[in-house]
């Protein structure tokens, strides 16, 4: 670094050079009286001494830079002058131009070296700029490739979702597919899919916000999101999740539910993740709507539109299946036939619309009194049929009596009148009353008419 030596380096180097030459000069002065004896030797020493200033001036420009070169030139000329004054030998004036020539040569060499260095530095700076620019381009290309690869995988995964969803019309399987695929594509600590109208599901503040505003939601840091308060979360376990994205499940203009993902890490989701989730929700909404429509169609095919009980056809198929399973496993079960006493009188007095309303309320009461686990069907008109699994004759008698007595105590409102009704029940049990569905139905129906013939409002089990 020729022209950038620190001032301290130049000072100490120059001072050292001056000191050395002063010491030499003093030595020459000390021995000069002896040398004067021999004029030739004396002149040789002076010539040698002054000649040392020639390379000194050249080297000083290279080693000490411009300032050091000028100082050494002045110092050299000063010593020539001191020599002339001390010894009176004016022949050595020739050294002054020699010193200047050496200094000029050093200056030119230094200038060329500086120019070369400056060009090298400029080229180096250009190379560094190009290197940085190239590094940025490479980094951008790598990010673009990473983004393209991620997008490609995302679209490939969306294709898989479409194919998977098109292969099922089962609602539970559809929901499971949507959540598992969303978890795999985007990545999260947990995934939720809420459907409107399902009371057993717990909606959070975020789900309610999405349903209310009908638009997507992204939260990078729940601790610093002005829209929501951590303290407002009902479940303390929800407070550990810091990043949230959610989208509404839309079918045309109807909101069907919410698809939401939570992460414990801050800044876990990007706008691209939200766009992917939005696409998944669109696919899910269509599939879920189809599944719900399919299930609804199946329900309409096997259930009575008025009471919500199964239809006679489905009941007979279920009974056939039950007989086959019970026969193979030596199981026991019973069948109960229920008929409303004097139902025609209610229709005549209050009208058929009121009669239908009475059947709806009656079905609700029977469902509540019978409890879970039974297959109940509207067998025809005001007649109902039940399969009582694992119930022998005594157990079937108890269940039937609980229903009969419960209905007898129930008040039904028709046209602002409070009315009571009674039912008659006939029972048959497998295998003692029959080993086929036809025989069991025939026996239960026969026992039902025996209950009616014996005064109604009673249960007829046949032989116990």
* φ/ψ of residue 386, rounded to 5: -135, 140
In contact, 389 and 401? CB cutoff 8 Å: no
3-state secondary structure of 388: strand
Catalytic residue among 382, 401, 418, 432: 382
Q: List b or e across 106-138, with b for residues whose CB sees 16 or more CB atoms inside 10 angstroms.
A: bbeebeeebeeeeeeeeeeeeeeeeeeeeeeee
14-72-104 Cα angle (round to 5): 130
Asked if the peptide bond before residue 431 counts as cis, ω within 30 degrees of 0, the response is yes
In contact, 193 and 258? CB cutoff 8 Å: yes
In contact, 402 and 392? CB cutoff 8 Å: no
3-state secondary structure of 392: coil
Cβ neighbors of 425 (< 8 A, separation 6 or more) are: 336, 337, 338, 339, 400, 403, 404, 448, 451, 458, 459, 460
Q: In sequence order, which ranges of 192-270 are alpha helices (DSSP H)?
A: 205-213
Q: Known catalytic residue: 382?
A: yes
Q: Take residue 68 and report the two structure tokens written for it.
A: 């050091």
Q: Take residue 101 and report the two structure tokens written for it.
A: 């020539």
Question: Catalytic residue numbers?
Answer: 382
């Amino acid at each position: 670094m020729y022209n950038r030596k620190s001032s301290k380096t130049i000072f100490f180097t120059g001072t050292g050079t001056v000191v050395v030459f002063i010491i030499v000069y003093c030595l020459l002065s000390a021995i000069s009286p002896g040398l004067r004896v021999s004029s030739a030797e004396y002149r040789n020493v002076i010539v040698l001494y002054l000649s040392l200033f020639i390379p000194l001036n050249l080297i000083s420009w290279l080693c000490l830079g411009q300032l050091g070169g000028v100082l050494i030139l002045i110092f050299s000329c000063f010593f020539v002058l001191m020599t002339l004054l001390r010894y009176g030998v004016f022949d050595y004036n020739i050294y002054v131009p020699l010193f200047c020539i050496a200094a000029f040569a050093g200056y030119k060499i230094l200038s060329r070296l500086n120019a070369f260095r400056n060009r090298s530095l400029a080229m180096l700076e250009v190379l560094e700029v190009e290197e940085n620019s190239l590094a940025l381009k490479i980094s951008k290309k790598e990010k673009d490739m990473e983004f393209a690869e991620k997008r490609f995988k995302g679209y490939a995964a969306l294709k898989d979702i479409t194919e998977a969803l098109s292969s099922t019309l089962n609602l539970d399987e559809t929901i499971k597919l949507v959540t598992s695929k969303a978890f795999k594509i985007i990545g999260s600590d947990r995934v939720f899919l809420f459907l409107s109208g399902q009371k057993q599901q717990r909606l959070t503040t975020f789900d309610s916000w999405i349903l209310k505003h009908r638009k997507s939601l992204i939260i990078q840091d729940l601790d610093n999101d002005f829209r929501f308060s951590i303290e407002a979360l009902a479940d303390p376990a929800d407070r550990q999740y810091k990043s949230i994205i959610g989208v509404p499940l839309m079918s045309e203009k109807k909101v069907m539910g919410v698809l939401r993902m939570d992460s414990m890490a801050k800044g876990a989701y990007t706008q691209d993740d939200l766009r992917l989730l939005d696409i998944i929700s669109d696919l899910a909404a269509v599939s879920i709507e189809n599944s719900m429509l399919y299930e609804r169609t199946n329900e309409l095919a096997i259930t009575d539109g008025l009471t919500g009980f199964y239809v006679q056809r489905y009941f007979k198929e279920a009974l056939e299946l039950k007989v086959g399973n019970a026969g193979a496993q030596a199981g026991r079960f019973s069948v109960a036939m229920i008929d409303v006493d004097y139902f025609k009188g209610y229709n005549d007095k209050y009208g058929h619309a009121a009669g239908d309303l009475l059947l709806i309320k009656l079905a609700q009461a029977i469902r509540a009194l019978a409890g879970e686990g039974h297959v109940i069907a509207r067998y025809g008109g005001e007649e109902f049929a039940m399969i009582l699994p694992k119930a022998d004759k005594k157990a079937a008698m108890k269940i039937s009596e609980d229903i009969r007595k419960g209905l007898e105590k129930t008040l039904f409102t028709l046209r602002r009148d409070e009315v009571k009704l009674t039912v008659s029940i006939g029972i048959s049990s497998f295998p003692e009353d029959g080993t086929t569905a036809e025989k069991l139905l025939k026996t239960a129906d026969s026992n039902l008419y025996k209950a009616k013939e014996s005064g109604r409002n009673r249960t007829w089990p046949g032989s116990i």
